[in-house]
Chain A
Amino acid sequence: MSTDAPAVMLESVSKWYGEVIGVNDISLAIDGGVTGVLGPNGAGKSTMFKLLLGRLRPSQGEVRLFGTDPWKSTAPFRRVGYVSETEPLYEWMTGLDFVSTMARLHGMTREEATNRAEHVLDFVGLSDVRHKEVGKYSKGMRQRVKIAHALVHDPDLIILDEPLHGCDPLARTSIMSVIRELGNRGKTVIVSSHILEEIERITEQIVILHNGRLLALGNLHAIRGLLDKHPHRILIETESPRELAEAFISRDPVYGVRFPNPGFLEIQTSNLSAAHSILPQVIVDSGIKVSSVENPDDNLDSLLGYLVGGD
């Protein structure tokens, strides 16, 4: 195993199941920091992770974890922690028991494993419930105990498949801060999601997958910048849409207005950031009551739509 090889490297990797394509000709290298893997359900995120974890064999191309083929050797797993998207746990184990048992599978002594488990459970904020059976944990606690098990052997690469899926807002915030903290500690963290907003709050470095293909790779803001210059919509819910439209129509970034539904005003702009910067002032000056402002295009679907080449 090469020490200076990138944590993750995929070279022209494709995986198909019969006629169905899982991932298609993906090449990328990830090393250091937090990387978000974005894509709708079925985009190939889980397939890519399974290839990285040696559970699937690539149909074409090469997969390397720290320079080693994970299908042929389990050696790189010493440096990898994986949090799956699947729900089940060993329900009858306590949190401490679960994490320390997993630590022992890495070759730690019983004592080492218990100490490390105590430590990581503290890190993810589960110290208080470590002696409780995981079957009695809430959804957020279950996600965190899974993260703890992936961290117990102090891995260099942590892969988290949809770690925020199904969690309540409090658990999301806590898990996000754990992920950010890991990034700050110099670990390579790969986290997948199908919600742009989640990833945005964690990292700027993203990989976008769609229909098994790699659509974009790089800084989220740069990609968002491209998107911003594309025609965008802002939806405002107000009592007097027509009066408010008058206030907006003369402003520079706004090139059109629509009234999609009674009580709603849609502003069309080619520069979303500029539009947002004038928005509060215009509303205050007009003295019209506004109940909500939404960006219907500021989501993964729009981003994907744009990247794929639609509108």
Chain B
Amino acid sequence: MDSQGRGLSESVWTSLDRKAGAVVELTVRQLRHKVSTWAVLGLGTLLMVLLLVFYIDSVRDGFESIDNDGDSFDMDNDGYPMGQEWKYGTSDWDGESFPGSGNFIFQGQIDWNDPDRTVSGNKTWEGQAILDASWIDYDYTGGTWSNIIDWETYESNDCAEGAPFEDWWLPYASSCLQEDGTYAFNGRVRASGQLYVPEGSYLSWGIFTEVFYVEPDPPEMYIDEDGIDWAEGDSGSQGFDDDGDCFRIGWITGDDWWEYQHEPDANRNGIPCDVVWVVDPVTGEVIYIDPDDYVDEDPVDEEYAGESSHRAFVIASGKIAFVLLLGLFLPLFLALGLVRDETERGTLHYLLSKPIHRGEFIFYRVLGYMAVVSSFVIVLALLMALITSLIGPGDELIRFGDFPVWMGIAAATILVLAAYGSLFNTIGLIMPKYGVYLCIIIGVWEFAMGFTTLFAPESSVTFLSISHWGLQMVDATVLAAWPDTLQYSQMSEAFGIDTGLQWIWKPPVHTLGTGNPYISIVTSITFLSLVSGVLISMGSSIFRRKEIM
């Protein structure tokens, strides 16, 4: 090399690079020799292993078919699943009401105020009355639950002294025999004769339609029986009520509060039993789904829940395990003492008696810390990516599409680690003794803002935290790498497919009104880098002016 070339290679800059390299390397080696480094990295790894075990376990079980609308259950044990009872308009809360059991048709009543308090005929009666019967259907027997008189117990039960319903009261679904051969009853009776309703009591009556036999459907028929019907890419009224439980007639029978009135046009678009899909005309992504009740509500779970659950796992791991937990705990253990520990140990003078500007020194120290934590986060993210993309749902051997998301998670975590690292190091410089308490308070704030961001990312108070921007970056990366996540999230919410996706992921907020995830990524990177830069500058400036005893 000629003299000029040699001069260049030995410039001030190369010497500076060497010093930077030496400080960074020394910092890395020091961190490697600290027990707390291995403890916190070990705990981080353990956390990921636990998450993976949980994930592998759920994958091995497969994404089993789930009865999303719960209509395969037989709540009243009458042998008919709820879905079949809905079709026939019978109640799944009443064992006497089942397909073919006959419908009760109301005909009349004597209420508390009616002056005429006698009635006769061959009916089904319900209420409180004295019955002078020519015929009683003793086979029509029940109990408290159905309110039908339990004839097996009460057929020859003698009444007490005094006037029934005036001097004493009968329990529900019971009766007693009076001395004159009439029955006093409180409940439902099928009988022919004359009835007297005492003052203050109530009786209604009607007839049951003809009873016929209906073969009970197997419960499996009501699982995954109503798939999502959507011509991909189209907005507007879509969906079809495959299992007919939206188009069922009238009311759900029964008069209990939980059996509400069925509304076939809950989305109020004038078309009963359909689903309104809103597709972004530019991106073609589904941005809103509004279904009527009981339409497309029980799709084949393997098709939707598998993919949604996998994404929910990746996003939850990225946001909670990587950004929130690793993001906070690694710097708390590794960055707070970057310079403070040297002062406490009395080794700082070895580093400060060298021709290295103190401001640069702070920067190189943080760089050294970043080298350790970044490589750890990248390795961990790659391992998670590899394992979950190998065993995740889908036909391909490896889900290559997952890798950009994991790298986005790693990048967001690294930026968060840089911001917290710069912050905690500066706090360690300003308050060597009590800084740790301030860091813990900041940690609590960051956790609170992080979790608020999970539920309400648009809440502006969360913008004042580092974790918010890290989490936003994950949300944005997810949308950029998996644009149809919005659709999966909307489907989970609209059709009640409970995979957690709609809970853990929300569209990114900081897109400057464009909805473009890349803009959100850029704003998050800018914010987090600025925070780190400002905090390092603050640390440098404080350290430059600090007298070291």
Contacts and interface: CB of A to CB of B under 8 A. Distances in A.
Nearest to A93: B29
Given A82-B349, A87-B346, A88-B347, A106 B354 contact: yes
B357 interface: yes
B347 A107 contact: no
Contact of A104 (B18, B33, B346, B547): B18
A109 B549 CA distance: 31
A77 B547 contact: no
Contacts of B438: none
Contacts of A74: 354-358
A101 interface: yes
Nearest to B34: A92
Given A89-B347, A104-B21, A77 B353 contact: yes
Contacts of A89: 347
B97 to A, nearest CB: 80
B349 A109 contact: no
A254 interface: no
B22 interface: yes
Contacts of A255: none
A90 B349 contact: no
A55 interface: yes
Interface string B426-451: 00000000000000000000000000
Contacts of A76: 355
Given A92-B33, A101-B22, A149-B350, A107 B357 contact: no
Given A101-B25, A106-B354, A106-B355, 10 more contacts: A53-B349, A57-B547, A74-B356, A82-B353, A88-B347, A92-B33, A102-B354, A105-B22, A105-B351, A106-B19
A270 interface: no
A285 to B, nearest CB: 57
23 contacts: A50-B548, A50-B549, A55-B547, A56-B548, A74-B354, A74-B356, A74-B357, A74-B358, A75-B355, A77-B353, A77-B355, A84-B346, A87-B346, A88-B345, A88-B347, A89-B347, A90-B347, A101-B26, A102-B350, A102-B354, A104-B19, A104-B21, A106-B355
B15 interface: yes
A75 to B, nearest CB: 6
Given A104-B19, A104-B22, A105-B23, A86 B349 contact: yes
Nearest to B22: A104
A31 B22 CA distance: 31
Interface in A25-67: 50, 53-57
Contacts of A77: 353-355
Contact of B356 (A50, A82, A105): A105
A53 B548 CA distance: 10
A104 B14 CA distance: 12
Contacts of A106: 19, 354-355
A108 B548 CA distance: 26
A80 interface: yes
Contacts of A185: none
A78 interface: yes
A257 B23 CA distance: 65
B30 interface: yes
Among A50, A53, A88, the one with the most B-chain Cβ atoms within 10 Å of its Cβ is A88
Interface in B1-50: 15-16, 18-19, 21-23, 25-26, 30, 33
10 A-B pairs with least C-beta separation: A107-B15, A104-B22, A105-B354, A86-B346, A55-B548, A82-B353, A77-B355, A88-B346, A78-B355, A74-B355
A164 to B, nearest CB: 19
Contacts of A149: 350
Among A57, A78, A105, the one with the most B-chain Cβ atoms within 10 Å of its Cβ is A105
Contacts of B350: 90, 102, 149
B82 to A, nearest CB: 69
Nearest to A15: B547
Nearest to B351: A105
A43 to B, nearest CB: 17
Contacts of A86: 346, 349
B163 interface: no
A89 B345 CA distance: 9
Interface in B355-395: 355-358
B354 A84 contact: no
Nearest to A105: B354
Given A56-B547, A74-B354, A107 B349 contact: no
A42 to B, nearest CB: 14
B91 to A, nearest CB: 77
Contacts of B19: 104-107
Nearest to A55: B548
A234 B355 CA distance: 51
B349 A55 contact: yes
Nearest to A159: B353
Given A90-B30, A101-B26, A107 B355 contact: yes
A82 B357 CA distance: 17
A148 to B, nearest CB: 12
B534 interface: no
A277 B476 CA distance: 93
Contacts of B23: 105
A194 B351 CA distance: 27
Contacts of B547: 55-57
Contacts of A80: 353
B522 interface: no
B18 A108 contact: yes
Nearest to A106: B354
B352 interface: yes
Contacts of A57: 547
Among B30, B352, B357, the one with the most A-chain Cβ atoms within 10 Å of its Cβ is B352
A50 B352 CA distance: 11
Interface in A102-151: 102, 104-109, 149
